[in-house]
Amino acid sequence: MRSTTFGALLLAGTVLTSVGAQAADGIAKGDTSGKTIAFSNSYAGNSFRQVMIRSFEETGAQAAKDHLIKSTAVVSANNSVTEQASQIQNLILQGYSAIVVLAGSDTALNGVVKDACDAGIVVVAFASGVTEPCAYRVDYDLDSYGKAELDYLAGRLGQGPENLLEIRGAAGDGFDKRLHAGVEKAMKDHPTFKIVNEVYGAWTSTVAQKEVSGVLPSLPKIDGVLTQGGDGYGAAMAFEGAGRPLPIIVMGNRQDELALWKKQHQSNGYETMSLGATPSVSQVAFWVAQQILAGKQVPKFVEVPLLRIDQGDLDAWLAKVPEGGVVNATYDQPLVADIIDANVDHKPLPGVPAPK
């Protein structure tokens, strides 16, 4: 406990609870050198997921080198909940200390997640709405995602009648369902906006381009496009291929999207914003699992901040993103401990500043 807080509580005669006393203590130092952490991933078919996996692997490898854990493993299902459930059962049988899960469904894996918990395994679900209570969750406030998109469009378009297209992720996916629910909530504050159609882009530019191209001929003029990440560039190519004006497309922090945005801005003053999760959220989930194993008291839900790019920061972020990549950030053990503490203390989350 920080000395100032401890002194204040003593003076107040307050009895410290175990969570309050331990969760805000910074990095837990319990010995986890013999522990193993696995990552069960539902889908690896786009650049975001590939960077996410690499971020986890690199963090795990360094942690093993530093004797903070013994080893890690990664398994990916081909967007099949049945296959993912089978893979998690295998990880349980292999005796992993913790399993980090990016679930393909918010409910269908609850049974196998409960099996893992009953076996004494720490389960940390991230970026997916696993509803089994025994699992810890590391995630974004997806209501704020939809609100940020719609508030931005309202600021640019006004509150007159405007037609929007929504590009969703994958049907049945927990992240998609929760982000879409956030959009529906935010739409209540913008009654003149109308979502005239929605398609599933699988967070991938090629799929998004195909799906948007398929519906454009039947749509009226589109003023704005709501996205979930990885689909902005494909949407732009669909509008270009149809010979239609480029609407305000909310981008998703991919290099191709940012490069297109910059090119359009230089050509005709086009402006938008970019918002999204970072692939390295897998690092947050890794360190949350490690800290739980080390004895830190962690809340069942750990919120992670979204990374937003506005026009003024576009060049700085674009310069740091490899071609074909996605904007990423590094979450090391001290930062994740700070994020956990901020959640416990209900304080602002540590942000990721634009690169210098």
302 Cβ partners below 8 Å, 6+ apart? 136, 137, 138, 139, 284, 288, 339, 340, 343
Domain range annotation of the chain: 3-140+278-345, 142-276
Is residue 123 scored above 50 in pLDDT? yes
Size of the chain, expressed as the number of residues it contains = 356
Quick: pLDDT tens for 53-87.
999 999 999 999 999 999 999 999 988 999 999 99
Name residue, tokens 């013994």. 70
In tens, the pLDDT along 228-275 reads 999 999 999 999 999 999 999 999 999 999 999 999 999 999 999 999
Provide the pLDDT for residue 355. Answer: 78
CA-to-CA dists, residue 325 to 207, 265, 273, 276, 279, angstroms: 17, 21, 18, 14, 10
What pTM was estimated for this model as a whole?
0.74
Q: At residue 286, does pLDDT exceed 60?
A: yes
From 6-10, 137-141, 210-214, 317-321, the region with the lowest mean pLDDT:
6-10
List, in sequence order, every beta strand (DSSP E) within 143-254.
Answer: 162-168, 193-200, 224-226, 248-249
Q: With 60 as the cut, is the pLDDT of residue 200 above it?
A: yes
Rounded to an integer, what distance in angstroms lies between the CA atom of residue 285 and that of residue 124?
Answer: 6
CATH 3.40.50.2300 fits 142-276, yes or no: yes
Nearest to 285 by CA among 70, 34, 89, 55: 55
Superfamily of domain 3-140+278-345: Response regulator (3.40.50.2300)
- The partner residues of 167 in beta bridges, in order of sequence, read 199
On the question of a common fold for 3-140+278-345 and 142-276, the answer reads yes
Q: What is the mean pLDDT of residues 278-298?
A: 96
What separation in angstroms does the CA of 313 have from each of 253, 255, 271? Answer: 12, 14, 12
Question: How confident is the model at residue 17, as a pLDDT?
Answer: 35
